[in-house]
Amino acid sequence: MDTVIKVENLSKQYRIGAREGYRTFRETLVDAAKAPLQGLSKVFNRPSAVGGRSSSSDNTIWALKDISFEVKQGEVVGIIGRNGAGKSTLLKILSRITEPTEGRVELRGRVGSLLEVGTGFHPELTGHENIYLYGAILGMDRWEITRKFDEIVSFAELEKFIDTPVKKYSSGMYMRLAFAVAAHLEPEILLVDEVLAVGDAAFQKKCLGKMGQVSKEGRTVLFVSHNMQAVRQLCSRGLILRTGFLDLDGTAHQGVLNYLRTLPKADTHTSLETIISKLPPDPAFRLEGISLTQRGQPVTSQVLNGEPLKIEIGYQILQKTTGLRIFFDLCDSEDTLIFRSFHDEDQEGIPTVEPGSYVSSASIPADLLAPMPYELRIQAGIYNVRMCTPDQGVRIPIAVEATGRHNRAYVTDTPRGKLAIAIPWRTRRETS
């Protein structure tokens, strides 16, 4: 396979508190006229290169430092890392939104990017008009946009609102329309930055399917996400960035496991409180405490499978909010999601909560989990708007131990699955 992205010793430095300067259209044209043939290579659909010079100052930070990798045609690469690792900076350089301080990038083919929800949308224009505007920004001509217009609208599921000004759209509607346009551009290289953080589960699945289809057509995808299940499902390869450095280049499975091991985990009551106190602020939600109990007694990491596990989550609602959901994921040691449970699953409609202090509690039934390691991830989010907790939420490892209430005749037998549900059986002897 041909190499379509080549990154060599790429570095990007920012001055703290300073805004990055932008050139005028006139300056860009003048620079292009003076540039050597290699600088104009993208005009001739050849490998393009961008580069810069380094600068030094005590008031600067390196968002990226000496990054080098290659991506082959048709690869789907997940770019993984905590907030501030340099993921978005990397994609902005690949999209030619910003220039590197040092190093070089070569790209072969047309690049379509979706870096921020609604980038390129004009709030006063309708969805119909913004499809043409956004498509033009991404490099589509009018004939191509017209040919794909109905398909874009259908994919975004916005037929009823396509002639409504987008300033009246929700964040989820913005994302759906923006992704639909970018995904139907048919670029050779598609760059996607965390757009699946907004939107319902059904549409997220639809987006993943579309990106999978893009890769099967021989096009290349670079996918930034904190959704590790999506990375494992979609990507064949994973790049981990840590504080601006390339920490690992391997399979997506290796990347996910390595990344999860670096996230802070709570293994004692003290560390749990510390992690909660260091969570970034959210305008609507503040997590205040988590407790795990069995038989009315606090537990930390050792849990008995023969007793219910009660989970209590205390939090503050800071402003009137519609669609706030408190939930937890239960995952195994390989990051497979066993199940997810929301605090409002029995509601008839989407609830609105007033400011105040709340406690939500749930109970994992006895005799459900097999004796093995798991991880609870306590999270909160506003439906179709944003997550209120970062990077998998608050992660609490638990080791489930057998109580011997079931499988008593073969107590040393190894569990065959993740769950140990006690299903009633009856056996009778047939008489002739």
| Alpha carbon separation from 198 to 67, 178, 312, 325, 387 (Å, rounded) | 29, 12, 26, 14, 8
Which DSSP state fits 24? Answer: -
If asked whether residues 9 and 157 sit together in one domain, one would say yes
Q: For position 25, what pLDDT does the model report?
A: 46
> Does residue 423 lie within any of the structural domains?
no
If asked whether residues 177 and 324 sit together in one domain, one would say no
- Where residue 284 sits, what CATH number does that domain have? 2.70.50.60
Q: Is the pLDDT of residue 197 over 60?
A: no
What 3-state class would DSSP assign to 146?
Answer: helix
> Does residue 82 lie within any of the structural domains?
yes
pLDDT tens per residue, range 392-411: 789 999 988 877 566 666 65
4 contacts 93 by C-beta, under 8 angstroms: no
Q: For position 47, what pLDDT does the model report?
A: 42
> Does residue 411 lie within any of the structural domains?
no
Q: Is the pLDDT of residue 1 over 90?
A: no
pLDDT tens per residue, range 299-331: 877 888 888 999 999 999 999 999 999 999 999
pLDDT tens per residue, range 167-182: 898 877 887 888 888 7
Average pLDDT for residues 270-295, to the nearest whole number? 90
Average pLDDT for residues 252-273, to the nearest whole number? 76
Percent of the chain with pLDDT over 90: 35
- What is the C-alpha to C-alpha distance for residues 88 and 183, in angstroms, rounded to an integer? 19
If asked whether residues 173 and 283 sit together in one domain, one would say no
> Does residue 346 lie within any of the structural domains?
yes
If asked whether residues 28 and 64 sit together in one domain, one would say yes
Q: Is the pLDDT of residue 118 over 70?
A: no
For residue 12, which of 68, 42, 53 has the smallest C-alpha distance? Answer: 53
> Does residue 23 lie within any of the structural domains?
yes
Q: Where are the alpha helices (DSSP H) in 189-277?
A: 201-216, 228-234, 252-262, 269-277
If asked whether residues 198 and 312 sit together in one domain, one would say no
CB 45: neighbour CB atoms within 10 A? 11
Q: Which residue has the higher pLDDT, 416 or 374?
A: 374
Side chain identity, residue 97: I
Q: Last residue of a domain, which of 262, 288, 317?
A: 262
If asked whether residues 12 and 160 sit together in one domain, one would say yes
Q: For position 51, what pLDDT does the model report?
A: 44
Q: Is the pLDDT of residue 265 over 70?
A: no
pLDDT band, residue 122 (cuts 50/70/90): confident
Q: For position 54, what pLDDT does the model report?
A: 42
If asked whether residues 245 and 278 sit together in one domain, one would say no
> Does residue 273 lie within any of the structural domains?
yes
11 contacts 64 by C-beta, under 8 angstroms: yes
Average pLDDT for residues 104-124, to the nearest whole number? 78
pLDDT tens per residue, range 338-355: 999 999 988 888 889 999
pLDDT band, residue 200 (cuts 50/70/90): low
Burial of 135 (0-12, 13-18, 19+ CB in 10 A): buried
Report the residue count for the chain.
Answer: 432
> Does residue 410 lie within any of the structural domains?
no
If asked whether residues 56 and 170 sit together in one domain, one would say yes
Average pLDDT for residues 352-360, to the nearest whole number? 93
pLDDT band, residue 40 (cuts 50/70/90): very low
16 contacts 57 by C-beta, under 8 angstroms: no
- What is the C-alpha to C-alpha distance for residues 353 and 380, in angstroms, rounded to an integer? 14
- Where residue 99 sits, what CATH number does that domain have? 3.40.50.300
What 3-state class would DSSP assign to 50?
Answer: strand
Q: For position 301, what pLDDT does the model report?
A: 76
If asked whether residues 186 and 320 sit together in one domain, one would say no
If asked whether residues 381 and 257 sit together in one domain, one would say no
For residue 251, which of 239, 233, 234, 263 has the smallest C-alpha distance? Answer: 239
Window from 11-25, 68-82, 227-241 with minimum mean pLDDT: 11-25
Average pLDDT, the chain: 81
If asked whether residues 287 and 377 sit together in one domain, one would say yes
If asked whether residues 26 and 42 sit together in one domain, one would say yes
> Does residue 377 lie within any of the structural domains?
yes
Burial of 73 (0-12, 13-18, 19+ CB in 10 A): middle
Distance between first and last Cα of the chain: 69
Q: Is the pLDDT of residue 56 over 70?
A: no
Q: Is the pLDDT of residue 132 over 70?
A: yes
Structural domain total, the chain: 2
3-state secondary structure 87-116: HHHHHHHHCCCCCCCEEEEEECCCEEEECC
With b meaning 16 or more CB within 10 Å and e meaning fewer, what string describes 259-285?
bbeebebbeeeeebeebbeebeebebb
Domain limits at 357?
Answer: 269-404
Q: For position 206, what pLDDT does the model report?
A: 80
Q: For position 174, what pLDDT does the model report?
A: 82
Q: For position 196, what pLDDT does the model report?
A: 61
